Amino acid sequence: MMHPNILRKTLMKLSLLFSLLLVLTPHKTSGQIVLADKPIAIKPEGFYIASVTGGSSNKGVFGQLIAKNANNKILAEPATLTGGTARSIGLYINRNISRDQMQRPVVMNIKDLNLKETIAITGSVVGQIKLYVSFGLQKNYGTEHLVDYRSGLQYTRDLANTDALEFYLRTILNNSLVYLNGWIKENQDNSRKLAKNVKISFSNYTEKPEGDTIYYASSRPLSWDDFQSTSRPNPRFEAQVIPGFGYNQEAKVSRGTIQVRIELKTFIPKSASMVNYNSKTAYNLNHEQRHFDIARIISGQFQQKILAKDLTPDTFEALINMQYLDSYRDMDTMQKAYDTETNHGTNTFIQDKWNKRIDEALQSLP
């Protein structure tokens, strides 16, 4: 059986706790927190905070704090930041950390900020602050996600010491920036998202030993042995080849630059190359070789056009793909013009003019 004195003391504590709970109801008095202007002790590593977004849409309320009102009653106040959550945090950061706009612009999005306090039996205030922010790189088209940060901070404070709240909130915000700074420092040399430049290099694809596909090389002209199709061309033609071009692409990040390596593949498949039995003359072979040369000219022009473009980490892949489609259409147009004007090689005068035109174009390639 519990001793009467112990029982009486326990009942008094429970009565006190019950009384406190009765008055811990939302109250219209101010619970605003003003973030103090104190320098944030980091040097941003290649970024600056361009803007702060998000936060509570409920008039800037991000939780509740325990305080005494003018009548000395203990109340649960709505916790707010002066001017709103995102605006207040943005002003605090802008005033207290270096902002080099030559660096990467980062958007800090407040996904969740929550403050909750309760009264302990001892009369102290027990609190917890939770923060969830998402950092993204500001782009012309929007924001590209970089990294998220989640953290929580638990504390106990005296009821009268409301100034401690500002310190705790400022501490957890500063920690998020320390985390971002470390993440960027660790990843800026090898992350495509953080790359600042693009460098393109080209080479011509080769294959050894040679299979069914012939890849263009000035030292490897066509021969009649390459015409291995069992089908025969249209009776109006002496021979037929189907040239094309494509590319292999590799991209690696080194020291903040995306190194793009493109292997050009200008090719003719032997199994699709046709010739009539009595058409294997040097003149006819030259006409088909020129079709192959045209494909090489266009692939070289594709290379020149890519190198002339202002490629960025955000645009290089799309621009390369679009230029490839444009160049492939250019090849189709030139091949048709070649056959039309030479009448598939039967007009020897025009064929000779095309031979010279093609040789000049080949000599101008990189």
**Residue 44 and residue 174: Cα distance in Å, rounded?**
12
Q: Are residues 233 and 262 in the same domain?
A: yes
**Residue 161 and residue 68: Cα distance in Å, rounded?**
11
Q: Are residues 143 and 248 in the same domain?
A: no
In a domain, 272, yes or no: yes
**Residue 271 and residue 284: Cα distance in Å, rounded?**
18
Q: Which residues of the chain have pLDDT under 50?
A: 1-4, 6-7, 9-29
In a domain, 281, yes or no: yes
In a domain, 2, yes or no: no
- The tokens for 124 are 């102290």
**Amino acid 5: pLDDT:** 52
**Amino acid 6: pLDDT:** 47
- With contact defined as beta carbons under 8 Å apart, do 168 and 35 qualify? no
**Amino acid 58: pLDDT:** 64
In a domain, 4, yes or no: no
CATH number at residue 120: 3.40.50
* H or E element, residue 32: strand 32-33
CB count within 10 Å of CB 126 equals 15
**Amino acid 31: pLDDT:** 78
**Amino acid 71: pLDDT:** 81
**Amino acid 205: pLDDT:** 95
Q: Are residues 251 and 157 in the same domain?
A: no
Provide CB contacts within 8 A for 211, sequence distance 6+. Answer: none
- CA atoms within 13 Å, Cβ hemisphere of 282: 0
Q: Are residues 27 and 171 in the same domain?
A: yes
In a domain, 61, yes or no: yes
Q: 244 is in which domain, residue-wise?
A: 197-363
Q: Are residues 230 and 297 in the same domain?
A: yes
Q: Are residues 171 and 230 in the same domain?
A: no
Q: How many domains, the chain?
A: 2
Q: Are residues 177 and 118 in the same domain?
A: yes
In a domain, 214, yes or no: yes
**Residue 330 and residue 310: Cα distance in Å, rounded?**
21
- The tokens for 316 are 């290089």
Q: Are residues 162 and 237 in the same domain?
A: no
Q: Are residues 152 and 33 in the same domain?
A: yes
Q: Are residues 57 and 131 in the same domain?
A: yes
Q: Which of residues 187, 210, 229 is at a domain's end?
A: 187
Q: Are residues 28 and 119 in the same domain?
A: yes
Q: What global pTM score does this model have? A: 0.76
Q: Which of 48, 55, 49, 133 is nearest to 87 (CA)?
A: 55
β-strands 61-68, 74-81 pairing: antiparallel
Q: Are residues 82 and 136 in the same domain?
A: yes
In a domain, 8, yes or no: no
In a domain, 326, yes or no: yes
